[in-house]
Chain A
Amino acid sequence: MSLSFLLLAVAALCALSFYFGRQRAVALSGGRHSNLHSLPVHYGAYTAAWCGLPALALLLIWYMFQGSVIEALIVSDLPQEILEDSGRLSLALNSISLIAAGNGQHLSVEPEIVDAGRRLANIQTIASAALVVVMLSGAVLGLSLSYRKITADMRARNNIERIARYVMIACSAIAILSTVGIVFSLLFEALHFFTKINPLEFLFGLEWSPQTAIRADQVASEGAFGAIPLFVGTLLITLIAMCVAVPIGLFSAVYMGEYASPKFRAIAKPALEILAGVPTVVYGFFAALTVAPFLRDNGAILGLDVSSESALAAGLVMGIMIIPFVSSLSDDVMSQVPKSLRDGSYGLGATKSETIRNVIFPAALPGIVGAVLLAVSRAIGETMIVVMAAGLAANMTANPLQAVTTVTVQIVTLLVGDQEFDSAKTLSAFALGLVLFLVTLGLNVFALKVVQKYREKYD
């Protein structure tokens, strides 16, 4: 029985136990629901939960231990000489699992291994049958125990409440743990990288050419892993993007929030926010196919040497992409400035723009700073536009007309295609990812702190 059928069977049992639980409660109530402590549905949900949850818990535990238990069983029967050599052992385990899956006909291996493969196939069949039995009996046991516990004054409602709480805790634990898991995998791979490359060289080196030699006598056998050019490129593009997004976003927020008539606002604000819904890949080819050639051709007219993949093109388009971020966040914080402050300023004879400049802006400033910082971390992490429009050359330059490359672009190029996973080249992607993550994390934390400080001010 496959896993999906098993889960369907458990779901069916749950539905059944809901029905039974409810029926029993109705029967106990003697026709009047007020005789019960809780509503009949609570009893139904109670039995259903106690039927389904133990089964799922058993499934989870089973899968956590199945692999290692079976491996231990197989390994214990292998000859001593294979066990002593770890390389041979892992090769043998591979062949065993291939044979067990029925794909081992072409392998030429020792008879012990073939035997072990057959045994593994046996064990696996037994294990999956055992899982079905264990899960279904767990479900039925849960059902019958909880069914018996139902009495007129049992507090099913409170019980359900507690179960719901644990389910929610489990969900948030999954969210948090997976983030932690990602961070740790980044961290370990990065540490692995730092055993090959000196972290100081990585963080402060000025040259980036991630080569690892396959043969020792290869040309350019020494790779250079100095991340500074990448961060300079990222910074340059982010700066250009911010120069576009911050003024335009801020002024459009001011217009939408303070000047626009409600009618215009109702149309224009969603229209602006549509910008945020455009897939970044669309921005990417807009940058690469429209903006970059436009800049190059116009640069040529002015006598400037604009490369066809320029930081300027990528930065401009990224800025456009970030406008809705800045504008909708800062619109929110400006509209949170209490009306009484505006009234106070108007009452003193200030004009609209004086009020905005002298009262609303300073009051909303922390929130606006927070919005801008969030936008910056978005720009730093943005990948698609720069992959398509910024280029791959790790130039260390402040000239926006040249091609530069960013951290995200390099991570993409390092990991695309066939790679060995223990060379410094591939591992450097994790180190870059880690640093990028730390930078954006720091910015986000700082931005949230600033926004929180602002929130305390008016309440």
Chain B
Amino acid sequence: MAAVSQSAMAAKPSVENPKMTARNLDLFYSDNQALYEVDLDIAEKQVTALIGPSGCGKSTFLRCLNRMNDTIDGVTIKGEVTLDGRDIYDKRIDVVQLRARIGMVFQKPNPFPKSIYDNVAYGPRIHGLVNSRDELDEIVMTSLERAGLLKEVKDRLQSPATGLSGGQQQRLCIARAVAVSPEVILMDEPCSALDPIATAKVEELIDELRSNYTIVIVTHSMQQAARVSQRTAFFHLGKLVEVGETDQIFTNPKDERTKGYITGRFG
């Protein structure tokens, strides 16, 4: 345990002016501990990639950042997670508003069985972000535009979203998240269900979104982490092993386990 903390320290978990921080984060599913003392900073307007073998806790950690784990029974969390310096597990924080500020895109595209338009309009509607139909139209259009989907769907906004291809559905989910104007977007293996061409489009999109949003992405593909992220964190067995600039992690990892994973010796 001490060794882990040391190596994580050596790789500088902290950045200046972090958007989000996690300190001493432990998480238990009933009696099984899934995360051990995770300390990690998320830099503002950068892409942070979380990598590691299956079951290492990277998705669990991601879901701590917008309290999605609250929806699972029997989860207990210790430690602190902050957004702009405020503890998000504080009792005074409204989880509904928190999730509006921290959007999420899931592993499998999960558009609602509604029209394309209604999917994007869902968030603005429930949060009362608009006062008129025109404003809503505008938000839907800009969100689709930002997700690079507008051109493909502008003639069929009222047709069901489930009729789109997998890659289009995933970009629709990104548009849906963007429509609420979040500050942070969490992505849980957003390309794992997509083909290489759709993946390339989504990766391109992530790179563009970086100028407006802070992004945290969980990925199984190390090439993807290398392509899209500025910082990379390597998780192993529920522990944060190493975190640093993506270049440094991939070219000069400090920890043996990181090196082993990146060179493909395990995982």
Residue B108 lies at the interface, judged by CB distance under 8 Å to chain A: yes
* A348:B123 contact, CB within 8 angstroms: yes
Query: Could you tell me if B96 and A341 are in contact, using CB atoms closer than 8 angstroms?
Result: no
With A362-B113, A362-B114 known to touch, is A347 a contact of B68 (CB < 8 Å)?
yes
Docked Cα-Cα span, A262 to B113, in Å, equals 28
Given A262-B73, A358-B122, verify A350-B96 contact (CB < 8 Å): yes
Kindly list chain B residues whose C-beta atoms are within 8 Å of the C-beta of A363.
Answer: 112-113
Residues of A within 8 A of B180 (CB): 348-349
Among residues of A, the one whose C-beta sits closest to the C-beta of B160 is A457
Residues of A within 8 A of B176 (CB): 344, 348
Q: Are B106 and A348 in contact (CB under 8 A)?
A: no
- Answer yes or no: A354 CB below 8 A from chain B CBs: yes
Distance in angstroms from A259 CB to nearest chain B CB is: 12
Asked if residues B112 and A343 are in contact (CB atoms below 8 Å), the reply is no
- Contact residue among A262, A344, A349, A362 (Cβ-Cβ distance under 8 Å from B110): A344
Contact residues in A for B108 (Cβ distance below 8 Å): 340
Q: Tell whether A346 is near chain B: CB-to-CB under 8 Å.
A: yes
Does B259 sit at the interface, judged by CB under 8 A? Answer: no
A345 at the interface (CB under 8 A from B): yes
Closest chain A residue, CB of each to CB of B113: A363
Interface 0/1 of A333-373, CB less than 8 Å to B: 00000101111111111110010001100110000000000
Contact B177 A340 (CB under 8 A): no
Q: Number of A interface residues, CB 8 Å?
A: 21
Question: A231 CB to closest chain B CB, in angstroms?
Answer: 37
In the complex, B32 has a CB within 8 A of chain A: no
- A344 close to B103 (CB less than 8 A): no
Whether A350 lies near B110 (C-beta < 8 A) is no
Contact of A341 with B110 at beta-carbon distance under 8 Å, contacts A348-B100, A348-B123, A350-B96 already known: yes
Q: Is A343 a contact partner of B106 (Cβ separation < 8 A)?
A: yes
Give every chain A residue within 8 A of B98 (Cβ-Cβ).
349
Interface string of B18-56 (1 = CB under 8 A from A): 000000000000000000000000000000000000000
List residues of chain A with CB within 8 A of the CB of B78. none
Given the known inter-chain contacts A358-B126, A363-B112, please indicate yes or no for A351 contacting B104, CB distance below 8 A. Answer: no
B219 within 8 A of A: no
Closest to A344 in B: B110
Are the CB atoms of A347 and B99 closer together than 8 Å?
A: yes
In whole angstroms, how far apart are the Cα atoms of A345 and B112 in the complex?
8
Q: In the assembled complex, how far is the CB of residue A262 from the closest CB belonging to chain B, in whole angstroms?
A: 7
Chain B 75-131 interface residues, beta-carbon cutoff 8 Å to A: 96-100, 103-106, 108, 110-114, 122-123, 126-127
Task: Give A109 to B33 CA distance when docked, in angstroms.
Answer: 97
Residues on the B chain within 8 Å of A358, using CB: 112, 122, 126
Please tell me which one of the listed residues B104, B114, B127 contacts residue A347 in the complex, with CB atoms under 8 A apart. Answer: B104
Q: Does B252 contact A (CB under 8 A)?
A: no
Whether the Cβ atoms of A351 and B96 lie closer than 8 Å is yes
Q: In A208-231, which residues have CB < 8 Å from any B CB? A: none
Bound complex: CA A354 to CA B112 (Å) = 13
User: 8 tightest A-B contacts by CB?
Assistant: A347-B104, A349-B99, A349-B100, A340-B110, A348-B123, A344-B110, A349-B96, A363-B113
